[in-house]
Amino acid sequence: MSWVYDFAEGNKDQKDLLGGKGANLAEMTNLGLPVPPGFTISTETCRAYLAEGGMPDGLAEEVTEHLASLEEAMGKTLGDADDPLLVSVRSGAKFSMPGMMETVLNVGLNDTSVGGLAARSESERFAQDSYRRLLQMFGGTVLHVESELFSDALDAVKKAKGTESDLDLDAEDLKGVVEAFKAIIKEHTGRDFPQDPREQMDLAIRAVFDSWNTDRARLYRRQERIPEDLGTAVNVQAMVFGNFGMDSGSGVAFTRDPASGAQGEYGDYLQNAQGEDVVAGIRNTVSLADMAEIDARSHDDLMDIMGRLERHYRDMCDIEFTVERGKLWMLQTRVGKRTPEAAFRIAVHMVDEGLIQMDEAVLRVTGEQLALLMFPRFDEDAERTLLAKGMNASPGAAVGKAVFDSDTAVEWAARGEDVILVRKETNPDDLRGMVAARGILTSRGGKTSHAAVVARGMGRTCVCGAESLDVDTKGKQFVVRDGATIAEGDVISIDGSTGEVFAGAVPVADSVVVRHFEGEKLDDDLAQTVARIMAHADGARRLRVRTNADTPEDAARARRFGAQGIGLCRTEHMFLGERRELVEKLIVAEDEAGVEAALAALLPLQKQDFTEILEAMDGLPVTIRLLDPPLHEFLPDLTELSVEVALADERGEDSEHARHQKTLLTHVRRLHETNPMLGLRGVRLGIQIPGLFRMQGRAIAEAAADRLAVHGAPRPEIMVPLVASVRELEIVRAVLEQQIAEVEEERGIKLEIAIGTMIELPRAAFLADRIARDADFFSFGTNDLTQMAWGFSRDDVESSFFSRYFEHGIFDVSPFESLDQRGVGGMVEMGTAKGRETKPDLKVGVCGEHGGDPRSVHFFDAVGLNYVSCSPFRVPVARLEAGRSVL
């Protein structure tokens, strides 16, 4: 095994060993492109160095060997007094970590070799400029001297000379800078800048390894979910010089526009500069078109190489290059990062150009990218005033009046105003306000804070952790760091895709992708591009996609978005609003007659709900779930009601209302539970109050009969929640079957209504073979299954201790957001297999939030589910991912 590999030894697929930069330098070398020679010290070496706390045995010898061949290839010796070889020492991990780790250029220069470089290049100025750059980079990154000390000293020399540009400094000025930099190093490290070229190189290599573990690198990895134990490679490469004069320069380029995906190269070039000058923005760069004017030959070579790279990688590449005295050199390439819009366009363009097949195009885009394209956006051309930047917690563009508490949010929204709820952080009490608001802005908390998680769940735009805002909820205002104040009622705009917060109303445009899904005929390139990808994914996928919808409007929209039915119609919302009173009557009924009267009042309302939904989904399956939540959710809050009754008592009130409230309180007390999620809910309600499920069953059967009467094609399925034992299902099934039979008899028709169950308790998963005897289908409720498997209260834990769990790597994403495949997924797999032992054709779906999560969709496909069901806006995402899963 070796620690070190020559560029000629590797290839692009060896990123694990050589890091991204090293693997791609090797690939370009082997393609015969002009790459300055060099070698890569592997990531394995870094891992060994970090584990042992020092350079591993044998490394020094291998470096010496590779350096010797490099010297031979270049015909020069590192740091030679007359004609020095100079090298760059650069980091390069498997995954790009832009700006997180170290780079040192011009290694090999010292007080004598700088003279040799000046003589050979016939430019004293160039040699001194190169030396001062080495001192600056080495001082900062290897010797840890504060980098401002160097830039301040350089600025002082420029100021004395009366200029702002480095280019105006001559050789003498730069000599002065070199002396100043050496003095800074001496003063701040207590030692002289090392003159020995090999010592410089070894220290630089060490510094790159050490930079793997800086705080900022660790933080970046945590955010980007890059494993901690990969380590970085180090690339040692012969220097080429972009700072040789005006016939030299450095640039970065993309083979296509990474923002829009448009065909045609895109890049920046800077004359007489070394790499970091281009990105640092110290002088204005020129476009590649302008570069053609400056140096036509290098430009042509560059275009030629970019074309070759694209054809070779069959993807958009980004590159770094240098021109040294009219000769082009390639310093880096990789498959480039791009916006979601560019990802879709590039994939489809490449199909049309014959570079890739449609299957591959679908694999090159993701459901998450599609989701981002579906959110409304701020018009980028509009004028806008940035107030602050926080975390992009939940995408979208929201405009509204700032409000600082939920009551105001609800009240203002009810009178038709758009509001943005601004809080330091949110908690479950803010839910009403969050629902009412167009967007949520917080000054504290990360992407997994309560605000972020809940907002994403609801599809609300959210910016969280905007720390420069001083939010004063009592004073109903926030202050921006520069002093601007936004008071209640002032309009702000928040961009959940970028984390930006703007003053005033920034104009918003609807997503063309959503307009396309809605069925609008658009002459729009992006819409057509997405349509082609979706058509291919739909043609490929096995998994069907349904939606979770409980209104006819949502059902119709989801259908336009491609839903193949409803996988979960939650009936609880149908008991809210004005109907709450009817539920109250049911609960407080003193006798059987009272119960029957309350149910009779609810029946026609339920029937109408179901008829409308069956109509919206005519011809497609509609899974209606019987009432699930504990009844107290439909009653007033215990504490509030107790206070109201106590106050009324104290005042001696004896009105009818007061008496009613008092009776109600006894029932609220009776129904109060310490752990309502584990209490009287789901199928248990149906057993405790049989009339309830009977009424719902009847409403469904009658709705289906009504639809048949008008020649519709109703396909209702009744789903029983929270079943743990086959006996529970048996009891409820008998009640439902009787209702269906009665309606069939009354109407003289035959109804096809399947009766199935949710599998959302571990016990049900374990006993799925028995439960399948009485179930026509299964649907995994992975929200409850996750809650019950981990013992995590789904309403509490995400805003409580999850951030600690992320820090400790217990999981890297909330199990409520992306399925815990090993644990909860294991139960899904087992439950499906057991169910099909009993009924080989058992239809199995999933209707928890995970049904719209890309990673989870792949899992559900792999374990053989028939469908996933998700919220309407996630339907296209699930369709795309189901296609990607089989390709």
Q: Which residues of the chain form contacts with ligand PEP (CB under 6 A)?
A: 568, 570, 628, 760, 781-784, 847-848
Contact of residue 570 among ligand PEP, Mg ion, none (CB under 5-8 Å per partner type): ligand PEP
Nearer to ligand PEP, 250 or 787 (CB): 787
548 in a labelled binding site: no
In 437-573, DSSP assigns E strands to: 439-442, 461-464, 469-472, 477-480, 485-487, 491-495, 500-503, 508-509, 544-548, 566-570
Residue type at 225?
R
- 397, 375 Cβ separation under 8 angstroms: yes
CA–CA separation, 493 vs 460, rounded Å?
13
Q: How near is the Cβ of 724 to ligand PEP at its closest, in Å?
A: 13
Check: CB of residue 272 under 8 Å from CB of residue 244: yes
170 labelled binding-site residue = no
Which of residues 59 and 454 has its CB atom nearest to ligand PEP in the complex?
454
Single-letter amino acid, residue 153? A
Q: Residue 654 CA to chain centroid, in angstroms? A: 57
Q: Closer to ligand PEP by CB, 361 or 759: give it.
A: 759
H runs (alpha helix) in 162-232: 171-189, 197-211, 215-224
11 is in an annotated binding site: no
Please return the burial class of 881, using the count of CB atoms within 10 Å of its CB with bins 0-12, 13-18 and 19+. buried
Would you call 299 a catalytic residue per the annotation? no
Rank residues 129 and 717 by Cβ distance to ligand PEP and give the closer one: 717
Query: Measuring CA to CA, how many Å separate 627 from each of 107, 126, 585, 877?
Result: 72, 79, 16, 28
Residue 257 interface partner, choices ligand PEP, Mg ion, none, CB cut-off 5-8 Å depending on type: none
d(CA 247, CA 239): 17
How far is it, in rounded angstroms, from Cα 669 to Cα 672? Answer: 5
Sign of CA dihedral 118, 124, 129, 133: positive
Q: In whole angstroms, how far apart are CA 412 and each of 419, 437, 473, 494, 618?
A: 7, 9, 17, 18, 37
Q: Nearest approach, Cβ of 307 to ligand PEP (angstroms)?
A: 51
The reply to whether 782 sits in an annotated binding site is yes
- When CB distances are held under 5 to 8 angstroms depending on the partner's kind, the choice from ligand PEP, Mg ion, none that residue 847 binds is ligand PEP
| Nearest residue to 699 via CA among 618, 752, 626 | 626
Residues 6+ apart with CB under 8 A from 549: 555, 558, 563, 566, 569, 613, 871, 872
Smallest distance from the beta carbon of 790 to Mg ion, in angstroms?
A: 14
Strand 397-403, strand 419-423: pairing: parallel
In the sheet where 491-495 sits, what is the strand order? Answer: 385-389, 500-503, 491-495, 397-403, 419-423, 439-442, 461-464, 391-394
Nearer to Mg ion, 14 or 779 (CB): 779
SS3 letters across 280-349: HCCCCCEEHHHHHHHCHHHHHHHHHHHHHHHHHHCCCEEEEEEEECCEEEEEEEEECCCCHHHHHHHHHH
* Exposure b/e, 525-552, CB count within 10 A at least 16 = b: bbbebbbbbbebbeebbebbbbbbbbeb
Which residues of this chain interact with Mg ion, rule CB under 5 A?
760, 781, 784
Tokens of 369: 């990218």
Q: What is the DSSP letter of 626?
A: P
Output the six-digit token pair for 546: 């349904």
665: Cβ contacts below 8 Å, ≥ 6 apart: 641, 642, 645
Q: Please, which residue, 189 or 818, has the CB nearer to Mg ion?
A: 818
Return the number of the residue (402 or 569) whose C-beta is nearest ligand PEP.
569
Nearest Cα neighbor of 513 from 388, 374, 640 is 374
- Inter-residue contact 787 to 793 (CB < 8 Å): yes
Of 66, 299, 349, 450, the catalytic one is 450
Q: Which of Mg ion, ligand PEP, none does residue 445 bind to, with CB < 5 to 8 Å depending on kind? A: none
| Among ligand PEP, Mg ion, none, partner that 568 touches (CB below 5 to 8 angstroms by kind) | ligand PEP
Q: Is 188 a catalytic residue?
A: no
Considering the complex, state which of residue 645 and residue 732 has its C-beta at the smaller distance from Mg ion: 732
Calpha distance 386→641 (Å, rounded): 45
Q: How far is the CB of 40 from Mg ion (least distance, A)?
A: 52
Nearer to Mg ion, 639 or 675 (CB): 675
- Tell me how far, at minimum, the Cβ of 795 lies from ligand PEP, in Å: 11
Shorter beta-carbon distance to Mg ion: residue 372 or 767: 767
Query: Smallest distance from the beta carbon of 783 to ligand PEP, in angstroms?
Result: 3
Q: How far apart are the first and last CA of the chain?
A: 36
Query: Which option in Mg ion, ligand PEP, none does residue 782 bind, with CB closer than 5 to 8 A by kind?
Result: ligand PEP
Please, what is the minimum distance in Å from the beta carbon of residue 757 to Mg ion? Answer: 12
Which one is catalytic: 462, 847, 850, 858? 847
In the complex, least distance from residue 758 CB atom to ligand PEP, rounded to whole angstroms: 7
The residues, any chain, with a CB within 8 Å of residue 54's CB and separated by 6 or more, are none
CB of residue 700 to ligand PEP, shortest distance in Å: 18
Please give the C-alpha separations between residue 714 and each of 560, 567, 573, 643, 749, in angstroms, as whole numbers: 18, 14, 22, 48, 13
Query: Which two tokens mark 240?
Result: 């080429």
Rounded CA-CA distance 98/76 in Å is 32
- Minimum distance of ligand PEP from residue 298's CB (angstroms): 60
783 assigned binding-site residue: yes
Cβ-based nearer residue to ligand PEP, 267 or 630: 630
Least distance CB 532 / ligand PEP (angstroms): 33
The length of the chain, given as a count of residues: 887
Numbered residues of the known binding site for Mg(2+) = 760, 784
Numbered residues of the known binding site = 570, 625, 760, 781-784
Numbered residues of the known binding site for substrate = 570, 625, 760, 781-784
Which residues are the active-site residues? 450, 847
